[in-house]
Amino acid sequence: MRLLLLRQKNFRNLAFSAFRPPQGLFALVGGNAQGKTGLLWGIHLVLGGEVRATLGDLVRFGEEEAWLFAEVETELGVFRVEQRLAPEGRMVFLNEKAVSLKALWELPGSVLVSPEDVEVVLGAKEERRGFLDRLIGRFSRRYTALLSAYEKALRQRNALLKAGGEGLQAWDRELARYGEEIMALRRRFLRRFLPTFQEVHRSLASLEAGLTLEETVRGNFLEALAERREEERERGQTLVGPHRDDLVFLLAGRPAHRFASRGEAKALALALRLAEHRLLWEHHGEAPLLLVDEWSEELDEARRRAVLAYAQGLPQAVLAGLWAPEGVLVCTMEGGVVLCPGG
């Protein structure tokens, strides 16, 4: 997939910008605070991605909403995507028709490699679980529907627990029905994802990497709920189920969030994103856009070489940083304005 045109209005600190990126691999070079991250965020968001910011923080100060527009070319044709971002939510349009955000996941989309990715490895288990849920959702509409139904049942069950816990049986059955399928789909996805993740990590680091699910339900879901019922009544919340599970990164067999150095965690996070890109490429039959932020600042020389080798030959990839690798086409950015050769 290729991005043909990006327009942004009142997005972050920019009143308006327009960008026609070159095809293939190119570097986006500029000093700090020139808008490189904002440009990559705009591309990623308009194609259905998420970033580490609230919607309100993405709207230019003093404005009510931000507007993003992209024209992309896939093997199925040209698509126009538009989004309006406001503190209360996002409105999404595909070829001028209102759609859900998840409808954009039918396109190859983009993968954003960001310095904040390390928090998926080192941060709280909510970070890792949220990453896993979003990733599986890009491959399975069934999974996102199950997750929505599970969360609804969970809210109802927690409300009953706070009210004393009467009438839980019906919601126990709902929670177990959706929860067991969610857990099964997570396991199935990890069996598919793990070999690719490990292969990519071997190109970045010497220690063997792994991924495992730490599940709070072992065996029968209804029995697990029954065992914790009195404690749940006391605490007013459901204590077992996929909403409490953890995705654990392993390095040489040990939990990375406890034992990995920050450099080792960066390698795991990079492998995670490149493996995501490869599986989406396989799933859609064409490569997503690859967006790498702070390429020159965050990666050491060996990992820069690995990313460069992977990105070469892609239909479109962006390496954003303070400088460009030798032999790569360079677009410069200053004050939110991008200049490319021939553009």
- Model confidence at 173, pLDDT cuts 50, 70, 90, reads very high
Query: What is the pLDDT at residue 343?
Result: 64
Residues whose CB is less than 8 angstroms from the CB of residue 233 and which lie 6 or more positions away in sequence, other chains included: 161, 164, 165
Does residue 71 register a pLDDT over 70? yes
Tens digit of each residue's pLDDT (9 = 90 or more) over 304-318: 999 999 999 899 999
Is 80 exceeded by the pLDDT of residue 6? yes
Token pair 């969610």: residue? 182
What one-letter code names the amino acid at 299?
Answer: L
pLDDT per residue as tens digits for the range 195-235: 999 999 999 999 999 999 999 999 999 999 999 999 999 99
What per-residue confidence (pLDDT) applies to 342?
75
289-292: strand order across its sheet: 110-113, 289-292, 316-321, 24-29, 329-334, 337-339
| Structure-derived torsion over alpha carbons of residues 58, 60, 65, 66, reported in degrees to the nearest 10 | -70
Q: Is the pLDDT higher at 114 or at 343?
A: 114
Beta bridge partners of 72: 3, 79
- What does the pLDDT look like over 35-55, one tens digit per residue? 999 999 999 999 999 998 999
- Which residue segments constitute the domains of the chain, with CATH numbers given? 121-260 (1.20.1050.90)
**What are the pLDDT digits (tens) for 262-290?**
999 999 999 999 999 999 999 999 999 99
Residues paired with residue 334 on neighbouring β-strands, in sequence order: 337
Task: Please give the distance of CA 75 from its chain centroid, rounded to a whole number.
Answer: 23
What's residue 258's pLDDT?
A: 95
Taking the model in full, what pTM does it have? 0.95
pLDDT for 15 equals 87
Share of the chain above pLDDT 70, in %: 100
User: Which of residues 25 and 163 earns the better pLDDT score?
Assistant: 25
The helix (run of H) or strand (run of E) holding residue 58 is helix 55-58
Start-to-end CA span in the chain (Å) = 21
Task: Give the residue carrying structure tokens 């200053």.
Answer: 334
Q: If pLDDT is split at 50, 70 and 90, which confidence band does 164 have?
A: confident
Q: Among candidates 229, 221, 121, which has minimal Cα distance to 168?
A: 229
Q: Which residue has the tokens 């049942």?
A: 153
Pull the structure tokens for residue 176: 């177990």
Q: Which of 119-123, 165-169, 188-192, 275-279 has the lowest mean pLDDT?
A: 165-169
CA 266 remoteness from chain centre: 16
- pLDDT in the model for residue 243: 98
Residue 24's pLDDT is 97
